[in-house]
């Protein structure tokens, strides 16, 4: 296994220490009476979107930032891109304090907010690219080379000539990705870049990011709800929940930590009637007419014993047994629940 990229030749590009961000939230009950009441008196409640976050990012990493909705991922991304002011804490990205030197700092970063297009809606993406070149002051030759290269890789030769409003989501997202990389940023923030895309479009984008990262040692921070994004792209993930970092480390470490679980997928040739199933250390994940999916805790029981139990219980009815590692989604779900 490769070692985590932490030691010198890779300089630290993001340094976050004890970062807090609070929001004031208006409290209001539903209903007409409450709405009228809110005209006269309002109650505010302070919510901590980020609680004491600290993290380091090194050059050339692709980091997956995951967490359930409202966990604080977007808030963190917005602070790191300089759009949002933190309540307290220390942040340094590439020797900039993002929200202070914002207009200078953004030269070095690229941002895609998956839900909000940065392309001009009524004109072709190619025109937005030209504007981008002017805004970021990219030399013509460098710009053309990079653009043509990316156009070829993402297969958007024709797409960028159409007005953006006529593009499909997948086409648009590829155009967005090109836009955020045109000025050769050192760090790229991708906020849900594959949301709503089909598998082929997702694959293209993932492959592209991975390749770009390898070639230019560009650092990527990717938020997503799609675990296959994470598995394909990242070595390291950061899991945020309720404003706290609950995990920061390698995906493989998480796997190992939960490696004492196995998923046993049993298929039957005869209908599995309401027969009792009782085996300590084993929980039923799914029960169908011809299928039983089990999770076994290896610290409590041995696989061999479970198989024996299944054989004696169902014997000849068993058509197939498949023993798997738990998928990363399940592991993440467990981590969310635990904290």
Q: Which residue has the tokens 């779900």?
A: 333
Q: Which two tokens stand for residue 101?
A: 């030197």
With CB under 8 A as the contact rule, the residue among 59, 89, 127, 305 that binds other proteins is 127
Length of the chain in terms of residues written: 339
Q: How far is the CB of 59 from other proteins (least distance, A)?
A: 21
With CB under 8 A as the contact rule, the residue among 16, 67, 78, 159 that binds other proteins is 78
Q: Which stretch binds other proteins (CB under 8 A): 57-65, 125-133, 198-206, 331-339?
A: 125-133
Q: Is 35 exposed, middle or buried (0-12, 13-18, 19+ CB in 10 A)?
A: exposed
End-to-end CA distance of the chain: 29
**How far apart are the C-alpha atoms of 127 and 162, rounded to whole Å?**
10
β partners of residue 68? none
Task: Decide whether 64 or 98 has the Cβ nearer to other proteins.
Answer: 98
Q: Which stretch binds other proteins (CB under 8 A): 3-11, 68-76, 210-218, 228-236?
A: 68-76
Q: How far is the CB of 219 from other proteins (least distance, A)?
A: 16
β partners of residue 4? none
131 lies in the binding site for other proteins (CB under 8 A): yes
**How far apart are the C-alpha atoms of 189 and 39, rounded to whole Å?**
40
Task: Decide whether 45 or 276 has the Cβ nearer to other proteins.
Answer: 45
**How far apart are the C-alpha atoms of 81 and 102, rounded to whole Å?**
8
116 lies in the binding site for other proteins (CB under 8 A): yes
Other CB atoms closer than 10 Å to residue 58's CB: what's the count? 19
**How far apart are the C-alpha atoms of 181 and 188, rounded to whole Å?**
8
Q: Are 218 and 186 in contact (CB under 8 A)?
A: yes
Q: Are 188 and 118 in contact (CB under 8 A)?
A: no
User: By rule CB under 8 A, what count of residues binds other proteins?
Assistant: 36
Task: Decide whether 75 or 241 has the Cβ nearer to other proteins.
Answer: 75
128 lies in the binding site for other proteins (CB under 8 A): yes
Q: How far is the CB of 183 from other proteins (least distance, A)?
A: 8
Q: What is the CA radius of gyration of the chain?
A: 25
Q: Which stretch binds other proteins (CB under 8 A): 121-129, 153-161, 290-298, 328-336?
A: 121-129
Q: 168: closest CA among 137, 207, 200?
A: 200
Q: Are 231 and 251 in contact (CB under 8 A)?
A: yes
Task: Decide whether 152 or 161 has the Cβ nearer to other proteins.
Answer: 161
With CB under 8 A as the contact rule, the residue among 62, 67, 76, 81 that binds other proteins is 81
Q: Which two tokens stand for residue 32?
A: 């007409």
With CB under 8 A as the contact rule, the residue among 123, 272, 285, 334 that binds other proteins is 123
* Residues 85-104 as x/- pattern, contact with other proteins by CB under 8 A: x----------------xxx
Task: Decide whether 34 or 135 has the Cβ nearer to other proteins.
Answer: 135
82 lies in the binding site for other proteins (CB under 8 A): yes
Q: Are 237 and 249 in contact (CB under 8 A)?
A: yes
Q: How far is the CB of 189 from other proteins (least distance, A)?
A: 9
Q: How far is the CB of 85 from other proteins (least distance, A)?
A: 5
118 lies in the binding site for other proteins (CB under 8 A): yes
Chain residues in the site for other proteins (CB under 8 A): 23, 49, 70, 74-75, 78, 81-85, 102-104, 106-107, 109, 111, 113, 115-118, 120, 122-123, 127-128, 130-131, 133-137, 163
């Amino acid at each position: 296994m490769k070692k985590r990229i932490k030691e010198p030749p890779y300089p630290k590009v993001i340094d976050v220490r004890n970062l807090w961000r609070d929001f004031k939230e208006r409290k209001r009950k539903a209903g007409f009476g409450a709405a009228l009441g809110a005209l006269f008196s309002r109650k505010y409640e302070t919510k901590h979107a980020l609680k004491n976050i600290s993290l380091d990012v090194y050059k050339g990493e692709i980091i997956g930032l995951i967490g359930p909705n409202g966990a604080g991922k977007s808030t963190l991304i917005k602070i790191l891109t300089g759009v949002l002011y933190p309540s307290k804490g220390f942040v340094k990205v590439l020797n900039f304090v993002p929200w202070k030197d914002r207009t200078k700092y953004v030269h070095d970063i690229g941002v895609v907010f998956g839900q909000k297009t940065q392309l001009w809606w009524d004109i072709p993406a190619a025109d937005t690219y030209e504007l981008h070149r002017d805004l970021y002051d990219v030399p013509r030759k460098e710009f053309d080379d990079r653009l043509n290269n990316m156009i070829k890789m993402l297969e958007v030769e024709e797409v960028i000539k159409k007005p953006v409003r006529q593009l499909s989501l997948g086409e648009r997202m590829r155009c967005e990705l090109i836009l955020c990389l045109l000025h050769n940023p050192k760090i790229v923030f991708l906020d849900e870049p594959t949301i709503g895309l089909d598998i082929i479009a997702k694959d293209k984008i993932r492959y592209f990011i991975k390749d770009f990262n390898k070639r230019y040692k560009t650092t990527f921070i990717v938020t997503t709800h799609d675990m296959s994004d994470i598995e394909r792209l990242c070595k390291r993930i950061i899991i945020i929940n309720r404003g706290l970092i609950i995990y920061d480390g390698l995906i493989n470490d998480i796997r190992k930590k939960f490696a004492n679980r196995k998923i046993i997928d049993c298929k039957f040739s005869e209908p599995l009637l309401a027969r009792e199933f009782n085996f300590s250390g084993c929980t039923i994940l799914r029960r169908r007419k011809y299928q039983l999916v089990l999770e076994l805790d290896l610290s409590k029981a041995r696989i061999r014993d479970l198989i024996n139990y299944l054989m004696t219980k169902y014997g000849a009815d068993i058509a197939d047994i498949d023993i798997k590692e738990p998928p990363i989604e399940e592991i993440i779900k467990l981590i969310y629940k635990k904290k």
